[in-house]
Amino acid sequence: MAYFIQQLINGLTLGAIYGLIAIGYTMVYGIIGMINFAHGEIYMIGAFVSVVTYLILSALGLGYVPLVLLVMLMTSMLFTSVYGWSIERVAYRPLRGAPKLAALISAIGMSIALQNYVQLTQGARVKALAPVISGGITLMESDGFTVHLSYLQMFICVLTVVLMVGFSFLIDKTSLGRQQRACEQDRTMASLVGVNVDRTISMTFVMGAALAAVAGMMVTLYYGVVDFYIGFVAGMKAFTAAVLGGIGSLPGAMLGGVLIGLIEAFWSAYFTIEYKDVAAFSILVLVLIFRPTGLLGKPEIEKV
Amino acid sequence: MLKIEGVHTFYGKIEALKGVDVNINAGEIVTLIGANGAGKSTLLMTVFGKPQARSGRVLFEGQDITRVPAHEIVRLGIAQSPEGRRIFARMTVYENLQMGCLPTDGSHFEDDVRMVFDLFPRLEERRNQRGGTLSGGEQQMLAIGRALMSRPRLLLLDEPSLGLAPLVVRQIFEIIKKINEAGVTVFLVEQNAFHALKLAHRGYVMVNGNITLSGTGRELLDNPEIRAAYLEGGH
Ligand SMILES: Nc1ncnc2c1ncn2[C@@H]1O[C@H](COP(=O)(O)OP(=O)(O)O)[C@@H](O)[C@H]1O
Ligand SMILES: [Mg+2]
């Protein structure tokens, strides 16, 4: 039982991170109907920027943890926003209206370019940092196994929930959110009522990128190491999460992320860790066979 | 108020408008009639640059708006209820109206919603219902209401009577008249020629991307060619 609860905690933490990345995929898909294949790289850049920021801050002798975290968060969000915005401008906007395959290839090219750029500027070796948030609490003890909830896991889960609530509010209740939904539903009509469609699409890339930066920072703190290749793996997982939950659906992305995180955690714990990715992707295939639109995806409704 | 001068519009190689001239004066209701595929909707969309005229000019109150982006045109004071209504299907009635007020600074929002609900009480009953679940008539009311929310001086209406029951059609035309009497200039595209011409101060007839006839509503109604082509067998 204790072992089970421990895996639940680990899985939820991992799932929160995947979920935050998955939101970027799902929002961009919602608004332009295409997968942003460079999104995993945005997350990787977010992770790198937060490590570099951390190293700079420690070199400056700044040690107050909440401030360090805040500065790391702000810097990586700022940088990824600029990258997200640029990806849309460079890889997507010039190809709007072109066949989807063209934009797809251009995004994959962008993704390879960013990977290599980070590899060249940051080096191919992993970057490591000392634990910033350490310690935790012991929840329970049974059968000689202790369930441990680290402060870092709490931090990750709480921050994710806060971001999700804030983000849902933004999409449901603010003018910007309505403009995004309008562009998703009917881009031409949106422009007739005065929505600046180009700017709204840019904003969507920026918002997805900012959330990916948060995920990048969380991973940095959680694993303590980053390398230029993490974007690919996490990107695939988060993309899977988005499809599993129903691409285009925000709650779906979060749910998909949590499910993938849990599958991974439990599979590694009870079966063989080598096959954890196979397990996650197999579940995806099964879900898609029985529910092609994903768990919370809406079936394609007719255009009114 | 709106001057369309020698406008040619293309879809790829297909020329949908072949040199169209239309003039709308402030305060008028001007009707454009024509068969299916004549280019009426294309003309209204060309005013918003979707698609842009390849040659010719669109002037609004003297300003050349041919190349102005759509989202800025609505801020100049033109609103459109387009062909097919194009309600935001997954937004509520209220949210659709909020979308409509985007070009304004929002300070009149409550008053304007009140005005729309007074014109169309049905919408108030359904304010939290999703646009996609409304009936055709209700969607049409919402499309007009949404357009009014931007406080336009010129309102473009594309076949507001299409697919509606005769009783609802009569209601919609009465409301168009009311809107015009409140000071909004109306450019009305219709296949329902009889009602539309009776309502209009002036009218144009479009055939195959060309304007072939124009005159007062009365003149066009009495014109034997028009009677034969657009009215016989109608109402
Ligand atoms: N999006 C489009 N792409 C290509 N051709 C179009 C498009 N929209 C309209 N057309 C063509 O342009 C012509 C005029 O259409 P339209 O303006 O919709 O006519 P109306 O509104 O008078 O029925 C038609 O021949 C139609 O087939
Ligand atoms: Mg039409």
Tokens of A95: 């190809």
Is residue A176 within 8 angstroms of chain B, CB to CB?
A: no
Alpha carbon separation from B183 to B30, B148, B177, B195, B234 (Å, rounded): 14, 12, 10, 21, 30
Tokens of B123: 């919408």
pLDDT at A127: 79
Q: Which residue of A has its CA nearest to B47?
A: A192
**Among B84, B99, B131, beta carbon nearest to A178:** B99
Tokens of A163: 């971001």
Q: Do the beta carbons of residue A55 and residue A290 sit within 8 Å?
A: no
H-type alpha helices, B120-235: 121-125, 136-148, 166-181, 193-199, 217-222, 224-226
Q: What does the alpha-carbon distance between residue A3 and residue A98 come to, in Å, rounded to a whole number?
A: 52
Q: What does the alpha-carbon distance between residue B217 and residue B193 come to, in Å, rounded to a whole number?
A: 10
ipTM of predicted assembly, 2 dp: 0.93
pLDDT at A304: 34
Q: Is A302 a member of any domain?
A: no
Q: Do A193 and B50 touch (CB under 8 A)?
A: no
Under 8 Å CB-to-CB from B9, ≥6 apart: which residues?
Answer: B15, B16, B17, B39, B42, B43, B46, B51, B52, B53, B54
Q: Coil, strand, or helix at residue B88?
A: coil
CB atoms within 10 A of CB B13: 5
Dihedral class, residue B6 (left if φ above 0, else alpha if ψ from -120 to 50, else beta): left
Tokens of B40: 């009426």
Q: Is A150 a member of any domain?
A: yes
Sites in chain A below the pLDDT cut of 70: 299-304
Q: What does the alpha-carbon distance between residue A69 and residue A75 come to, in Å, rounded to a whole number?
A: 10
Q: How many CA atoms lie within 13 A of A105 on its CB side?
A: 6
Q: What does the alpha-carbon distance between residue A170 and residue A178 come to, in Å, rounded to a whole number?
A: 9
**Among B71, B80, B139, beta carbon nearest to A196:** B71
Q: Do A301 and B91 touch (CB under 8 A)?
A: no
Tokens of B70: 């759509």
Q: What does the alpha-carbon distance between residue B35 and residue A118 come to, in Å, rounded to a whole number?
A: 60
pLDDT at B235: 44
Q: How many CA atoms lie within 13 A of A17 on its CB side?
A: 34
Q: Do the beta carbons of residue B36 and residue B82 sit within 8 Å?
A: no
Mutational test site, ligand 1, from B42, B46, B50, max ligand atoms within 8 Å of CB: B42
Residues within a 6 A CB radius of ligand 1: B 11, 14, 16, 34, 36-42
pLDDT at A203: 95
Q: Is A250 a member of any domain?
A: no
Q: Is A254 a member of any domain?
A: no
Q: Is A136 a member of any domain?
A: yes
pLDDT at A300: 54
Nearest CA to ligand 1 atom 3: B11
Q: Do A194 and B71 touch (CB under 8 A)?
A: yes
Domains of chain A: total: 1
Alpha-carbon Rg for chain B in angstroms = 17
Alpha carbon separation from B121 to A115, B76, B82, B125, B141 (Å, rounded): 58, 28, 22, 7, 10
Tokens of A280: 């996650």
pLDDT at A299: 61
Under 8 Å CB-to-CB from B69, ≥6 apart: which residues?
Answer: A191, A196, B49
Whole-structure pTM value = 0.90
Q: Do the beta carbons of residue A76 and residue A49 sit within 8 Å?
A: yes
Q: Do A304 and B84 touch (CB under 8 A)?
A: yes
Q: Is A172 a member of any domain?
A: yes
Q: Is A148 a member of any domain?
A: yes
pLDDT at B188: 96
How much distance in Å is there from the Cα of B98 to the middle of ligand 1? Answer: 30
Sites in chain B below the pLDDT cut of 50: 234-235
Q: Is A199 a member of any domain?
A: yes
Q: Do B99 and A185 touch (CB under 8 A)?
A: no
pLDDT at B59: 96
CB atoms within 10 A of CB A291: 14
pLDDT at A226: 87
Question: Which residues in B lie closer than 8 A to residue A299 (C-beta atoms)?
Answer: none
Q: What is the pLDDT of residues B153-203, one digit of tens each?
A: 999 999 999 989 999 999 999 999 999 999 999 999 998 888 899 999 999
Q: What is the dihedral of CA A165, A291, B90, A197, to 10 degrees?
A: 80
Q: What does the alpha-carbon distance between residue A107 and residue B159 come to, in Å, rounded to a whole number?
A: 41
- The whole domain housing A178 covers 19-231
